[in-house]
Amino acid sequence: MPTALGEAAPPARPADRSQGGESSYLAALISPDAPPLIVDVGAHDGISWSNSAYFIEDGWTALMIEPMPKAFAEMQARYTGNPRVVCRNLACADKAGILPFVLGDDHLAMLSALAAPDSKADGLSILVKVDTLTRILERESWPRDFAILSVDAETMDYEVLLGLDFARFRPRFIVVEDYGPKRPFLDHLLLSEGYRRLAQLGDNHIWKHREAPMRCPPGGSKAE
């Protein structure tokens, strides 16, 4: 609808580039008092199927973590000049070290994954630096209370969260992929830390801390 003469047009909404509408869903849930801060583990190129690009476009501060050199270089180039976006080229797990990173069929991060420490990496791999999310956030002087933690670590989401000290850092919302056989362990971890699952959108599950305020979910219905 055209605006009245002299009336300013409403600002355009950021583009939702997430795979299943996760960004729009979260944007509708997050309360106005939430710190506009997002941590994206497995951020890929910073835009493809991204849960964080929407919020970066909306002016949020973001910490983008990606181990794959090619995807990281694309992401770093994309956000050069944006002081609110910090890009770090490493992987997250429950322990720090150097581990094989097994490349997917297209040699892109979306189909690549960190190998478990006790496994033999099959296929083409590179060595990447690995650290715990707690240590990374401490180095960045990240605040305890932040709005969103998005994790897309290709079967290693559980290990990423094992490396987070929830007493030290407490994201209000957590997005994790459908984690297959590790799901009972990850569910138990998040439930024990005071989170409850709100929804599944595509391959992603959205969790909220019990003490985090939120708006009514999209559609006006109660969350699970």
DSSP string, the chain: -PPPTTPPPPPPPPP--SSSSHHHHHHHHB-TTS--EEEEET-TTSSTT-SSHHHHHTT-EEEEE---HHHHHHHHHHHTT-TTEEEE--EE-SS-EEEEEE--TTSSGGG-EEPPTTSPPPSSEEEEEEE-HHHHHHHTT--SEEEEEEE--TT-HHHHHHT--TTT-EEEEEEEE--GGGHHHHHHHHHHTTEEEEEEETTEEEEEETT--BPPPGGGPPP-
Total domains present in the chain: 1
- Bridge-partner residues for 65, per DSSP? 41, 88
The pLDDT score that the predictor gives to residue 102 is: 78
On the question of pLDDT at 101 being above 90, the answer is no
Domain presence at residue 16: no
The pLDDT score that the predictor gives to residue 24 is: 96
End-to-end CA distance of the chain: 35
On the question of pLDDT at 30 being above 90, the answer is yes
Domain presence at residue 17: no
Nearest Cα to 68, choosing from 108, 17, 104? Answer: 108
Kindly indicate the confidence band of residue 106, based on its pLDDT and cuts at 50, 70 and 90. Answer: very low
The pLDDT score that the predictor gives to residue 124 is: 78
Question: Which range is most confident: 54-63, 95-104, 113-122, 212-221?
Answer: 54-63
d(CA 87, CA 78): 10
- Bridge-partner residues for 130, per DSSP? 91, 97
- The CATH number of residue 72's host domain is 3.40.50.150
The pLDDT score that the predictor gives to residue 12 is: 73
The pLDDT score that the predictor gives to residue 180 is: 82
Domain presence at residue 14: no
Domain presence at residue 74: yes
On the question of pLDDT at 218 being above 70, the answer is no
Taking residues 188-213, report their average pLDDT: 96
Residue-wise pLDDT tens digits, 48-67 = 999 999 999 999 999 999 99
d(CA 73, CA 196): 35
Kindly indicate the confidence band of residue 216, based on its pLDDT and cuts at 50, 70 and 90. Answer: confident
Nearest Cα to 74, choosing from 63, 87, 62? Answer: 87
Kindly indicate the confidence band of residue 31, based on its pLDDT and cuts at 50, 70 and 90. Answer: very high
Overall residue count recorded for the chain in this entry: 224
On the question of pLDDT at 109 being above 50, the answer is no
Domain presence at residue 8: no
On the question of pLDDT at 188 being above 90, the answer is yes
d(CA 105, CA 123): 9
Domain that holds residue 67: 22-220
Residue-wise pLDDT tens digits, 117-165 = 444 445 578 899 999 999 999 999 999 999 999 999 988 999 999 999 9
The pTM for the full model equals: 0.86
Q: Find where tokens 């290709």 sit.
A: 154
Residue 189, CA atoms < 13 Å, CB-side half-sphere: 18
Domain presence at residue 13: no
Judged by average pLDDT, the poorest of 4-8, 43-47, 57-61, 174-178 is 4-8
On the question of pLDDT at 209 being above 70, the answer is yes
Domain presence at residue 200: yes
1 within 8 A of 183, measured Cβ to Cβ: no
Domain presence at residue 6: no
Kindly indicate the confidence band of residue 219, based on its pLDDT and cuts at 50, 70 and 90. Answer: low
